[in-house]
């Protein structure tokens, strides 16, 4: 069974540009999460999808970040326009069951550097 995949693995962009990150969850997982780790800090929750609906977007930092999950399969996270402080590693995770005792399976992350 394939795990959570993320694309690209690395992205280097200039301040003011737009970047779109993609996450493919484990097949059949309704729950999809985005997290990010800013350099040297802890991993922080961004948002949670259940199928195509945003269940919790309390961690989204500002309106420069837009997450979508059309069709309830893969998800994209767009940063527009990117700022220097957006640099970090963006992780995606997915889980299967609609119960609290689920395990979130993480992807390898996308390392974003904004210059």
Partner 1 sequence: AQSVTQPDIHITVSEGASLELRCNYSYGATPYLFWYVQSPGQGLQLLLKYFSGDTLVQGIKGFEAEFKRSQSSFNLRKPSVHWSDAAEYFCAVGLMDTGRRALTFGSGTRLQVQP
Tokens linked to 16: 């003011």
Q: Which of 18, 55, 73, 80 binds partner 1 (CB under 8 A)?
A: 55
- The sign of the CA dihedral 36, 29, 101, 49 is positive
Q: Which is nearer to partner 1, 6 or 86 (CB)?
A: 6
Task: Name which of residues 11 to 50 contact partner 1 (CB under 8 A).
Answer: 31, 33, 35, 40-45, 48
Report how far residue 75's alpha carbon sits from residue 63's, in angstroms, rounded to the nearest whole number: 17
Q: Which of 65, 75, 87, 107 binds partner 1 (CB under 8 A)?
A: 107
């Amino acid at each position: 069974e394939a795990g959570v995949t993320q694309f690209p693995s690395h992205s280097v962009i200039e301040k003011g540009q737009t970047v779109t990150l993609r996450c493919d969850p484990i097949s059949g997982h309704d729950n999809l999460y985005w997290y990010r780790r800013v350099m040297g800090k802890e991993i922080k929750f961004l948002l949670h999808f259940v199928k195509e609906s945003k269940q919790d977007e309390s961690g989204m930092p500002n309106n420069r970040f837009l997450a979508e999950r059309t069709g309830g399969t893969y998800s994209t996270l767009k940063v527009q326009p990117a700022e220097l402080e957006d640099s970090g590693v963006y992780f995606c995770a997915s889980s299967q069951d609609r119960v609290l005792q689920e395990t979130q399976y993480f992807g390898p992350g996308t390392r974003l550097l904004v210059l």
